[in-house]
């Protein structure tokens, strides 16, 4: 799966979790938490959706690796390989 696909997977999940946020203007290198109104509960949702939709497991100690869109893609790429 390409980096572009993985980026889209994460964006789709965020768009569902935060129905009022616009995901078009996200800066890939900046913290998702700061750009969007996401808290720890919401990150848990991202992780649970990755498991539910794509059978990808993210252990709790790896949550910080989901901080930006860039780091999400880098971290998730091997898991989608």
Partner 1 sequence: MNYDAIVIGAGMSGLAAGIRLAMFDKKVVVLEKHSIPGGLNSYYRRSHRQFDVGLHALTNFIKKGDKGKPFSKLIKQLRIPYDDFKLMPQTYSKIQFPDCTLKFSNEFELLISEVSEKFPNQIDQFNKLVEEVKNFNELDLNQAYASSRDVLKKILSDEILIEMILCPLLIYGSAWENDMDFAQFVIMFKSLYFEGFSRPEGGVRTIISLLMKKFEEAGGEIRFRTAVTEVIVNEKNEAIGVKTEKEELRSGIILSSAGYPETVRMTPKLSMMASPRVGAMTFLESIFVFEKKIPLDQNDSTIIFYNDSKRYSYQRAENFFDPNSAVICYPDNYESLNREGEGIVRVTFMANYDQWKNLSKESYLTMKEKVGESAFKLVQNLNPNFDGQMVFKDVFSPTTIERYTWHLNGTVYGSIDKTRDGRTPVKNLFIIGTDQGFLGIVGSILSGISMANLHGLMNGAET
**Which residues of the shown chain bind partner 1 in the complex (CB under 8 A)?**
16-20, 37-42, 44-45, 48, 52, 60
Rounded to whole angstroms, the Cα distance separating 51 from 6 reads: 14
Query: Which residue, 24 or 39, is less far from partner 1 as judged by CB?
Result: 39
Closer to partner 1 at the Cβ: 29 or 60? 60
Instruction: Please list, in sequence order, all residues whose beta carbon lies within 8 angstroms of the beta carbon of residue 57, skipping any fewer than 6 positions away.
Output: 50, 51, 79
Shortest distance in whole angstroms from residue 21 CB to partner 1: 9
Least Å distance, CB 41 to partner 1, is 6
Contacts 24+ apart (CB under 8 A), 71-75: 72/6, 72/7, 72/10, 72/32, 73/3, 73/6, 73/7, 73/10, 73/28
Between 16 and 57, name the residue whose CB sits nearer to partner 1: 16
Q: Least distance to partner 1 from the beta carbon of 2, Å?
A: 27
């Amino acid at each position: 799966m390409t980096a572009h696909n993985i980026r889209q997977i994460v964006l789709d999940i965020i768009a569902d979790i935060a129905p009022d946020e616009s995901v078009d203007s996200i800066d890939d290198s900046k913290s998702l938490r700061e750009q969007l109104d996401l808290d720890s509960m919401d990150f848990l949702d991202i992780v649970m959706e990755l498991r539910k939709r794509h059978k990808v497991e993210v252990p709790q100690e790896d949550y910080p690796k989901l901080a930006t869109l860039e780091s999400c893609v880098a971290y998730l790429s091997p898991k989608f390989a």
